[in-house]
Amino acid sequence: MALPTIILLLLVVLFFSSNATQPPRTLHIPVLHRDAAFPPAPGATSPISLRLHAADATHYTVQLASSLHSTTITDDQQLRSPVVSGLPFDSGEYFATVGVGDPPTRALVVIDTGSDLIWLQCAPCRRCYRQLTPLYDPRRSSTTTHRRIPCSSPRCRGVLRYPGCDARTGGCVYTVVYGDGSSSTGDLATDRLVVFPDDDGIAHHNVTLGCGHDNGGLFESAAGLLGVGRGKLSFPTQVADTYGRVFSYCLGDRMSRNTSTSYLVFGRAPEPPSMAFTPLRTNPRRPSLYYVDMVGFSVGGERVAGLASDSSLALDAATGRGGVVVDSGTAISRFAVDAYAAVRDAFDARAAAGGMRKVDDNFSVFDACYDVYGYGGGHPKVRVPSIVLHFAGGADMALPPANYLVPVVGGDRRTHFCLGFQAADDGLNVLGNVQQQGFGVVFDVERGRIGFAPNGCSA
């Protein structure tokens, strides 16, 4: 979770099917939608059903469904982007269900490629936010599983960025602060981490994690965080002896309840033929993050020109500037100001030619929003310019419209669609989870590459 952003709450739940004492070489984890665990409140506004169909190689046609209250999700592979009332993306992380301790306490934790430490809220709490699963109390766990790490341990002084020491107990104290201001402080410990298929589970012993007694920020509902970055304390690194330094996921449609084919996999899985790879870069100033180089954009089938500096999208290892971070913990992608402005202006020109009327008002962080209603009282068709992200090594991401058109509801209760990117003025470009949804994404540290495959959830 590297950056502040407005985001939509989604759920990722992990399930393994294997013998608890013999973990498989590859762990495959289906994903369920948040509504499976958090049903919408009675009387909540129903989504607006929107169908997006490919019209040609460079544009898409948007057809508003005749029923504005349709919530049916079918298996016909149509791409649907429902609209909810209120500002979208109030919270947008994906979650995993794990168990901690013995007997295990189940916990929903955010899956975050932008950080390393695994932590969860623990009793006794000095400051804890509301979570939807039971609070973990290490005092009720077996003393053979939960053990505090001493201040003198290399896992304290040699790994933590800001190590502390409890003078009373001699135990290591961690503090993590995220880009959006969220934070956690507590005891660094080793414990038993379990992932459940049903009542049984695959247990990993002596996993280093944080037991947070002072927590706050934008982790509402989550019990903590599962760091899957590149650092020594991340989950992939800690289980690399079993599964290798490679994992993959497909983050399903953030609004659809039909996400049973989404997944998270640790270990090397078969790669679909459509998988395209780009080199994985390392930033010495931020070594835990997964960096790639972008080489440009196409809008409406034409390469975007007029960028003040293409180098803003490529990593300068000497300065730590540039490059693009692939981050599951950020929702909306952010690009350097000049790159964002060039893409926005190219999209705006082609959107106008396709019948999309730009509205004067801005919605939250979005400054390019469009009205597709009000043309003679019917349900209009408009042509939506296509967007392709180009990465070094020839890897392209041709984004479906739902990955860059964000539906918002204005004060007049009219629904508009905004270009779902942001300008980044801090030198940190990020490929967020809204743009990644539906793609199979492989983080292959062993071979120094990251791969993208369209329709990855179905694959």
- Residue 353 belongs to domain with CATH number: 2.40.70.10
**Which amino acid is residue 429, in one-letter code?**
N
pLDDT at 73: 22
Domain membership of residue 153 (yes or no) is: yes
Interatomic CA distance for residues 32 and 261, integer angstroms: 8
User: Is residue 132 within 8 Å of residue 221, measured between CB atoms?
Assistant: yes
What pLDDT shows up at residue 398?
Answer: 97
Q: Are residues 195 and 285 in the same domain?
A: no
In the chain, the number of structural domains is 2
Domain-located, residue 283: yes
**How much is the pLDDT for 83?**
19
User: Quick one: 229 and 360 in the same domain?
Assistant: no
Per the structure, the complete domain to which residue 352 belongs is given by 50-79+272-453
| The amino acid at 394 | G
Interatomic CA distance for residues 95 and 195, integer angstroms: 13
Asked if residue 313 is part of any domain, the answer here is yes
Identified catalytic residue from 180, 187, 327, 444: 327
Q: CA-CA distances (angstroms) from residue 131 to 159, 179, 244, 420?
A: 28, 21, 32, 29
Residue 85 counted as domain residue: no
Backbone angles phi, psi at 184, to 5 degrees: -150, 140
- Of 192, 218, 250, the one marking the end of a domain is 250
Residues 238, 351 within the same domain: no
**436, 387: one domain:** yes
Which pLDDT score, from 0 to 100, does residue 18 have?
Answer: 36
For 367, phi then psi, to 5°, come to -120, 10
d(CA 319, CA 109): 33
Reading the chain (459 residues) residue by residue, the pLDDT tens digits are 644 333 332 322 233 333 334 555 766 554 444 444 454 444 443 333 222 323 333 444 333 222 222 222 222 221 122 212 122 224 467 777 888 999 899 888 888 999 999 999 999 999 999 888 899 999 988 878 899 999 999 989 878 888 999 999 999 999 999 877 889 999 999 999 987 644 566 888 999 999 999 999 877 778 999 999 999 999 999 999 988 999 988 887 776 655 456 678 888 988 889 999 999 999 999 999 999 999 999 999 999 986 645 567 889 988 888 999 999 988 899 999 999 999 999 999 999 998 898 988 777 789 899 987 644 445 567 889 999 999 999 999 999 999 999 888 877 778 889 999 999 888 789 999 899 999 999 999 999 999 999 988 876
What's the pLDDT at 446? 96
Q: How far is CA 258 from the centre of its chain?
A: 18
Residue in 112, 187, 253, 444 annotated catalytic: 112
Asked if residue 265 is part of any domain, the answer here is no
Strand order in the sheet with 302-303: 302-303, 294-299, 387-391, 396-399
First-to-final CA distance of the chain: 27
Residues 120, 69 share a domain: no
Query: 283 and 378 share a domain?
Result: yes
Residues whose CB falls within 8 Å of the CB of residue 233, separated by 6 or more in sequence, listed in order? 116, 117, 118, 155, 159, 160, 208, 227
Last residue of a domain, one of 220, 250, 280: 250
Biggest distance spanned by C-alpha atoms of the chain: 74
Same domain, 435 and 327: yes
Whether 360 and 245 map to the same domain: the answer is no
Residue 157 belongs to a domain: yes
Let me know: does 272 contact 459? Beta carbons within 8 Å: yes
With a CB cutoff of 8 Å and minimum separation 6, the contacts of 413 are 85
Question: Do residue 374 and residue 291 come from a single domain?
Answer: yes
The verdict on 306 and 415 lying in the same domain is yes
The CB density around residue 161, as the number of other CB atoms within 10 Å, is: 13
Task: Determine whether 90 is an active site residue.
Answer: no
Judgement on whether residues 212 and 181 belong to the same structural domain of the protein: yes
Which pLDDT value is given to residue 108?
84
Which residue, 250, 284, 309, sits at the end of a domain?
Answer: 250
The label of the residue with tokens 């459940």 reads 196
426 touches 286 (CB < 8 A): no
**What's the rounded Cα separation, in Å, for the pair 130 and 219?**
9
Mark whether 101 and 245 lie in a shared domain.
Answer: yes
In a domain, 21, yes or no: no
**Beta-carbon-side half-sphere exposure of residue 78 (alpha carbons within 13 Å):** 16
Instruction: Please tell me the distance from the alpha carbon of residue 167 to that of residue 130, in angstroms, as a whole number.
Output: 29
Is residue 327 among the annotated active site residues? yes
